[in-house]
Amino acid sequence: EIVLTQSPGTLSLSPGERGTLSCRASQSVSSNYLAWYQQKPGQAPRLLIYGASSRAPGIPDRFSGSGSGTDFTLTISRLEPEDFAVYYCQQYVSSPATFGQGTKVEIK
């Protein structure tokens, strides 16, 4: 089973600042089969990024994904008020699919 570890647990930032979220895998995520999701309270998760760096349709270009192997990053270039939420990474290389424990981006 591939274990995903996200850091930091909580990121306190102000609107307009840049956010950098990390997702580290316990073994290589081949073919960059890694996705990122955003979840707001009381809502279902929303797909942001798949294939480590491809933005899902309708996702603003301030969201970008990068990385390969075991280290992946989600970057939010300039935080908008609606971006304060919890973010999860997920690997889909093999069963069991696994999620990271989440990073909460909160208003500073």
The least CB distance from residue 34 to another protein, in Å, is: 8
Residue 99 to residue 108: CA distance in whole angstroms: 26
Among 24, 46, 55, 62, binds another protein (CB under 8 A): 46
Q: Does 68 bind another protein (CB under 8 A)?
A: no
CB contact at 8 A, 48 and 36:
yes
Cβ nearer to another protein, comparing 16 with 54:
54
What is the distance between the alpha carbons of residues 52 and 4, in angstroms, rounded to a whole number?
14
Q: Which of 13, 22, 39, 73 binds another protein (CB under 8 A)?
A: 39
Distance between CA 28 and CA 2 in Å, rounded? 8
> Are 65 and 19 contacting, i.e. CB atoms less than 8 angstroms apart?
no
Per CB under 8 A, the list member of 19, 23, 29, 90 interacting with another protein is 90
From the list 18-26, 61-69, 72-80, 96-104, the region that binds another protein by CB under 8 A is: 96-104
